[in-house]
Amino acid sequence: MPSVTRNPRGTSGRREAVEQDVFDSVAGLLAAGESFTSLGVQRIAEAAGIARTTFYGHFADKPTLLIRMTEAVSPDLFSTAEAWVAEGGGRESLTETVAGLVAAYRRHAPLLRALVEVAGYEPQVQAYWHARIELFADSLRARLERDREGSASPSNPYIASLIAWGTERSIAVQVADRPPAEDAAFADGIASAIWATMRPV
């Protein structure tokens, strides 16, 4: 029986619908080749079918919008890799995990290009993406420490950052510059490099 205290068509539902319309409209403009930097708030509002004042009722500014859009797709971008780390996945499943990351990046390529574009000049966006990648690096760092317990070679805390940032940048270049037909070989190569870096010496 539905709760009488929650109306899915109430203010909260309408707010979410407006925000999703904005997300979808911006995603469409980016996919069509628009630069996020060149998109004005008025253009975004018109594409979403809302007033400029309505836009500012939902988003403080364009960087906030970009961050919120990225947060909305973050589970698709990170959940598989985070599960692999948390569950102690091995080499056998690592290629599949990297392949999943590449596929997710391809699904959200226009948005991620915009994120990198804006992070180059907008500290708020740069800080957000840095924190998000480092959050994954922290989980990987904890796993490396567990994996190397009792080893004569203790875990180097910088290895996790190397893997996290190196993988993120390598995938971005793969998606931007190379065809999907090369993704399988790329995923296997990156997985081999990650696994070799993670192993105790």
pLDDT band at 200 (very low <50, low <70, confident <90, very high): low
Burial class from Cβ neighbours inside 10 Å (0-12, 13-18, 19+) for residue 194 reads buried
Q: What percent of the chain has pLDDT over 70?
A: 91
Structure confidence at residue 135 as a pLDDT band (50, 70, 90): very high
pLDDT at 5: 37
At 176 the pLDDT is: 95
Beta strand residue intervals within the chain, DSSP E: none
pTM for the predicted model, two decimal places:
0.87
> In whole angstroms, how far apart are CA 169 and each of 32, 47, 160, 192?
23, 31, 14, 16
Q: How large is the angle between the packed helices 62-86 and 41-48, nearest 10 degrees? A: 70
The pLDDT-based confidence of 148 (bands split at 50, 70, 90) is: confident
pLDDT-based confidence at residue 149 (cuts at 50, 70, 90): confident
**Alpha helix (H) residue ranges in 35-90:** 41-48, 52-58, 62-86
Helix, strand or coil, per DSSP, at residue 60: coil
pLDDT tens sequence across 3-43: 333 344 456 788 899 999 999 999 999 999 999 999 999 99
pLDDT at 11: 63
- Selected residue with higher pLDDT from 140 and 11: 140
